[in-house]
Chains A and B, each alone.
Chain A
Amino acid sequence: MRKKTTYRNPVSTSKYTGLLLISPFLIGVAAFFIYPFISSFIMSLYNYRMNITPDFIGIDNYKNILSDKAVTESFCVTLKYIFTLVPLKMIFSLCVALILNIELKYMGVFRTIYYIPSTLGSNIAIIILWRYLFTTDGLVNQVLGITGLPAVSWYGEPVPALWTIVLLRVWEFGSCMVIFLAALRDIPKEQYEAAKVDGCGKVRAFFRITLPAIKNVFIMNFIIQLITAFQEFNAPFLITGGNPLKKTYTFAMLIYDEAFAYNNFGYANALSWILFTVTFIVISIILILWNRLKKD
């Protein structure tokens, strides 16, 4: 990151040049972040529907959310999804990054192969692929059949259905892994050599040298994964449609449906605000705990 300097740029002596240069960004923040937040909050206080004059109902939307079973259920689904996906993806990414960090030939080729799925993200073609992989007589069940395992009704039961989405996102672990890999490359080799001379084993070297060195990247990566998982929409919307029994119906899908399927924009905005608040609180807690941990 850039050092804090009192550097005076020679090409321009005015202290407002910089401000002028970043003005597009400032306008963008005002138009696409600050304004939406304020208007979202205001709308959440109304019974706001398209083509009908909105009427003010105070905090009724929020009260209704508290007693709405659909909200609690989709919130639980989202939590279940996050708690399965994020640890799995993080650990897997870190392990693969550790292996790819070993200096051997052709590591670049493997890195590229692992990276490809993550560049395809929620590309609809990947969604189609996934639907075919996990249908009753799809590739996954055929492979299970060959190894003698019973076929799974992936989309027919709640737990396997959620797993199809988790597996899709774990399959796309490349971008998460590359970030770890970049951090691992920055650790000076001398540290490991010194540790070896002192008789320090591999496992201890990992906990004493590697983990402390990548901790900032780790926490940053963790937060990014958390936010992404919390907003999961495309995969459940297109692969499972929230089924069976709404057990893959995520919070983001609920917001979308309330707004665009039931024309209930006021309520949907209140839900958006809850999503934002929860994200904000969770990130703050992580960062506060993190700072505490650093001081000890």
Chain B
Amino acid sequence: MRKFLIYTFLAISSIIMIYPLLWLFGASMKSNSEIFTSIWFIPEKIDFSAYINAWKSAGGYTILHFLKNTLLIIIPKILFAVISSSVTAYGFARFDFPFRKTAFALLFAVMLMPQIATMLPTYIMWREIGVLDTYIPLTLPSLFACEGVFVFILIQFFGGIPKELDEAAAIDGCGALKTLFYIHAPCIRPAIISIAVFTFLWTMNDFMTPLIYISSVEKYPLSLALRMSMDSTGQGYEQNKIIAMSILGLIPSISVFGLAQKQFTSGITTGGVSG
């Protein structure tokens, strides 16, 4: 009986959680009038024409173009974040050095820093360097291990690697970096995957940074492109086009999450990260 109650609660609440997404998916194949008249997510007549319109997208570019732009931001970011956070976490986890405690406290402070507070001066800094409307302000900061959370996850993973491995590596003549790449890298793989997935999802979700830095439509990532079509569509017509566009915009995130789900959950539960 207790089991039954628990399952009923879980089932009903997960339907509530997931139904909006199903509805959105269904609505992308509905006619414009049906979107606002039926709460059932399966369309009366399946119609893919909205997707054809969505594919053509807006501003004279196809949605593929904006997806490519997004990837041009995401891929360097992932590479930078993985390398810089691993090296930094390795330094913290395995070495003793002057001011280690102070540096560790900084790591914590960075994590709690409200991003909005540093946004304006950073913007002016990039403006003075002269790289506005390029992807540099969006990607380069990842090279400096600025996501404290990632470093924390990795430090915990390093803690689980026996120190004897380092000693064996030293006897075989490995230096500090060689030990990291040949001995530790395979052990911290789940953490690296979590970092890659988080970077992917957060960059897909990020709206404010591209909004500030990217001004030409040609360079828009998906988020800005979608917003542009959302504003130009307005109320009235082509509702299903914008819905179809947003479904296309969700596919990368959902598929990445789906693919990495297993490794990923082990990463978050050990690191305790907020999405």
Contact = CB atoms under 8 A, between A and B. Distances in A.
A124 B226 contact: yes
Contact of B114 (A17, A112, A227): A227
Nearest to B117: A276
Interface in A52-85: none
Interface of B: 3, 6-7, 9-10, 13-14, 17-18, 20-21, 23-24, 27, 35-39, 84, 87-88, 90-100, 103, 106-107, 109-110, 112-125, 141, 143-146, 151, 155-156, 159, 163, 166-167, 169-171, 174-176, 178-179, 201-202, 204-208, 212, 222-223, 226-227, 230, 239, 242-243, 245-247, 249-250, 253-254, 257, 261, 265, 268-270, 272-275
Contacts of B227: 124, 238
Interface string A1-31: 1100111111110011111111011111101
Contact of B122 (A36, A115, A126, A234): A36
A31 B208 CA distance: 20
Contact of B10 (A5, A33, A110): A110
A90 interface: no
Given A24-B84, A24-B144, A129 B95 contact: no
B175 A175 contact: no
B250 A21 contact: no
Contacts of B223: 123-124
B274 A265 contact: no
A138 B269 contact: no
A10, A125, A223, A260, most chain B CB atoms within 10 A: A125
A182 interface: yes
A181 B269 CA distance: 8
B120 A272 contact: yes
7 contacts: A15-B96, A15-B97, A22-B92, A113-B18, A146-B39, A231-B115, A279-B112
Nearest to A38: B121
Contact of A113 (B14, B141, B156): B14
A122 B261 contact: no
- The A contact surface, by secondary structure, is helix
B99 to A, nearest CB: 8
A36 B121 contact: yes
A19 B6 contact: no
B179 A11 contact: yes
A113, A143, A146, A172, most chain B CB atoms within 10 A: A113
Contacts of A223: 112
Contacts of B24: 125, 129, 132
A163 interface: no
Can you list the 9 inter-chain pairs with the closest CB atoms, starting with the nearest?
Answer: A28-B144, A18-B95, A21-B91, A125-B246, A175-B275, A18-B97, A36-B121, A10-B170, A121-B205
B94 A118 contact: no
Given A17-B97, A122-B206, 9 more contacts: A9-B94, A9-B176, A11-B166, A32-B141, A110-B14, A116-B257, A119-B253, A123-B249, A181-B269
A265 B212 CA distance: 14
Given A16-B97, A120-B253, A132-B243, A43 B121 contact: yes
A40 interface: yes
A142 B103 CA distance: 55
Contacts of A17: 91, 95, 97, 176
A112 B163 CA distance: 35
Contact of B116 (A2, A129, A275): A275
A224 B167 CA distance: 38
A11 B174 contact: yes
Interface in A79-104: 96, 99-100, 102, 104
